[in-house]
Amino acid sequence: MSIWGRFLSLFSKDMAMDLGTANTLVYVKGEGIVVNEPSVVVIDRNTEEPKAVGHEAKHMFGMTPDDLIAVRPMKDGVIADFFVTQKMITYFLKKAAKAKTLRSPKLIVCIPSGITQVEKKAVKESAINAGARKVYLIEEPMAAAVGAGLPVESSVSMVVDIGGGTTEAAVISLSATAFQKSLRIAGDEMDEAIMNHMRYEHKLVIGPYQAEEIKIKIGSAAPLQEKMTFVARGKDLVKGVPKAIEVNDDEVRYALEIPIKAIVEVVDEALSGTSAELAAELTKTGVMITGGGSLLRGLDKRIADETRIKIHRAQNPLESVVMGSGKVLEDFKLLKKICIT
Ligand code: ADP
Ligand code: MG
């Protein structure tokens, strides 16, 4: 490193960022996770400047006046709105650095394993424009595996990351992805399935965050021991007036069936796509599921029953990707081995 580079690094911090469709997390070297907020930005339509980012913006979703618009700039695991994504990254990195002038010399950004070269370039450019000097990319399933403490350098593991926009199944062997399968169906589609169900079965229009709340409070992928209910609130489809309907877990499970089937199928396909040798190893180690979507009640059991393989849920599914990238940031040899520049 040049003298100037060394001088700058005294005033800047290495960071790792999990730029998710639902949540963005930032890890600062030597400090840990310092940012964990929804990937939502409220934009002023007139000036095109962000009015709110993260938690504050999520609270405003669906309730903004006409001149403001709440957007989720990441869709299906990739940048759908380049301009807004850049604003969001800049905001979170500055927040993580705790000062306006600090720059990040080294930044690791997690990307879905299925993204194209063009999409990778867009992520890197956004990070550079946001103040990073050197950007490394790491595939999310690899980061999640490292984060969960799986032995990525020495043995075989399979990780299924169920996020907001994508489900990614990857088999990792000797520090590389041996096989991967990704699907643009995950938590968001579950919310949409609940919204559609309420609309057609109960003539009740609900917003995406109410749907998400129903999923988190009473949603499931396999029958539950105890009955659960939730009062859904929205407006009547025909009359447009406020309306509330009580729903139970059976009904919500039925509504979630299509996205859940698709997720189970992608795990099955990833398993069938691996070589006999790797598959043999996986029957011993099992498969780890992670990402916020893996928290759905009974999803582990459902996948295990249908694929006949052991399923473990990561300890902190919402944090495993950023914790893994943080570990890589602290270990330069590992970074050189598994990151893409
Ligand atoms: P991303 O990496 O795409 O940002 P995350 O891993 O942060 O996604 O997961 C976000 C998804 O997880 C959202 O769809 C959210 O609704 C879902 N989620 C969070 N907690 C739960 C829960 N307890 N049960 C079911 N889904 C959950
Ligand atoms: Mg993720």
pLDDT tens by residue, 136-170: 999 999 999 999 989 898 889 999 999 999 999 99
Q: What pLDDT sits at residue 61?
A: 78
Measured in degrees and rounded to the nearest 5, phi and psi for residue 99 equal -160, 155
pLDDT at 340 over 60: yes
Q: Which atom of ligand 1 is nearest to the CA of 290?
A: 6
Task: Measure 18 CA to ligand 2 centroid, in angstroms.
Answer: 7
Condensed to tens digits (0 to 9), the pLDDT of residues 19-78 reads 999 999 999 998 999 999 999 999 999 998 999 999 999 988 777 788 899 999 988 777
Nearest CA to ligand 1 atom 12: 292
pLDDT at 341: 79
- State how far the alpha carbon of 221 is from the alpha carbons of 24, 183, 188, in Å: 26, 18, 15
Q: How far apart are CA 236 and CA 215, in angstroms?
A: 20
Mutate to test the pocket of ligand 1, among 19, 23, 139, 191 (most ligand atoms within 8 A of CB): 23
User: What sections of 70-116 are H helices per DSSP?
Assistant: 82-97
> What is the predicted pLDDT for the residue at 230?
98
Q: For the whole model, what pTM was predicted?
A: 0.93
Condensed to tens digits (0 to 9), the pLDDT of residues 69-121 reads: 999 998 877 788 888 988 898 899 889 887 655 567 889 999 887 778 888 88
Task: Check whether 9 has a pLDDT greater than 80.
Answer: no
Cβ burial, residue 216 (10 Å; 0-12/13-18/19+): middle
CA 20 – ligand 2 centroid, Å: 5
Distance from Cα 189 to the centre of ligand 1, integer Å:
11
Which mutation among 166, 212, 230 tests ligand 1's pocket best, with the greatest number of atoms within 8 A of CB?
A: 212
Beta strand residue intervals within 225-271, DSSP E: 229-236, 242-248
pLDDT score recorded for residue 18:
95
pLDDT band at 8 (very low <50, low <70, confident <90, very high): low
Backbone dihedral angles phi then psi of residue 327, each to the nearest 5 degrees = -60, -40
Residues with CB under 6 A from ligand 1: 20-23, 163-165, 187-188, 212, 215-216, 219, 291-293, 295-296, 318
